[in-house]
């Protein structure tokens, strides 16, 4: 990464926006409500005005607004190696994994958390990210607050438990 790109990332004004990368699991709604409770602005792509942009243009536009991203890897799809259907595993939607890669490039690893359901296949090339197993968003509130604080977001942990 070039020094200019690093400094432009640091120089961005703090908007306290968190992009939620998600599939079809309703956990995105609980996560958005939690972020609002913390005084943060959740960005859920399907709830944003597309302003005539393609999906990738929308993602890029809102990614530049985001200070942090949380990916929900939930078993919305299934997959296995060719010829090995007995090894079928739950997987996150492909769009979530593509968006996760995009956000890695834009925000960097420190500004991304990955919540995953037990048993969901995790992408092996992305080890080193903050992976947090979860059943309900309420169970990982403290871990999310700590992760966002470690990434430099001004988050009041007391609001997480009001």
- Tell me how many domains the chain contains: 1
| Inside any domain, residue 158 | no
pLDDT at position 99 is 93
pLDDT of residue 126: 76
Q: Is residue 162 part of a domain?
A: no
* 99: in domain: yes
Q: Is residue 119 part of a domain?
A: yes
Is 87 inside any structural domain?
Answer: yes
Does some domain include residue 19? yes
Whether 27 is in a domain gets the answer: yes
The closest of 19, 20, 18, 23 to 120, measured between CA atoms, is 23
Domain of 140, in residue numbers: 3-153
Measured CA to CA, the distance from residue 47 to residue 86 in angstroms comes to 38
CATH number of domain containing 21? 3.40.50.10140
Phi and psi at 115, nearest 5°, equal -95, 130
User: What is the DSSP track for 37-72?
Assistant: HTT-EEE-GGGS--TT--HHHHHHHHHHH-SEEEEE
Query: pLDDT truncated to tens, each residue of the chain (162 aa)?
Result: 445 444 444 445 466 899 999 999 999 999 999 999 999 999 998 888 888 889 889 888 889 899 999 999 999 989 989 999 999 999 999 999 999 999 999 999 999 999 999 999 888 777 778 899 999 999 999 999 999 999 999 898 888 887
pTM of the model: 0.86
């Amino acid at each position: 990464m070039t020094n200019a790109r690093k400094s432009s990332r640091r120089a961005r004004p703090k908007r306290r926006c968190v992009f939620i990368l998600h599939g079809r699991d309703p956990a995105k709604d609980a996560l958005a409500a939690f972020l609002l409770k913390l005084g943060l602005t959740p960005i859920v792509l399907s709830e944003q005005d597309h302003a005539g942009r393609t999906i990738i243009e929308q993602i890029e536009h809102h990614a530049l607004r985001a200070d942090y991203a949380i990916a929900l890897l939930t078993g919305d799809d299934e997959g296995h190696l060719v010829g090995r259907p007995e090894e079928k595993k739950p997987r996150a939607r492909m769009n979530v994994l593509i968006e996760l890669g995009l956000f890695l490039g834009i925000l960097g690893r420190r500004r991304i958390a990955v919540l995953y359901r037990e048993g969901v296949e995790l992408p092996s090339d992305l080890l080193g990210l903050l992976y947090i197993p979860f059943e309900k968003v309420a169970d990982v509130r403290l871990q999310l607050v700590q992760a966002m604080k470690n990434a430099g977001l001004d988050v009041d942990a007391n609001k997480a438990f009001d």
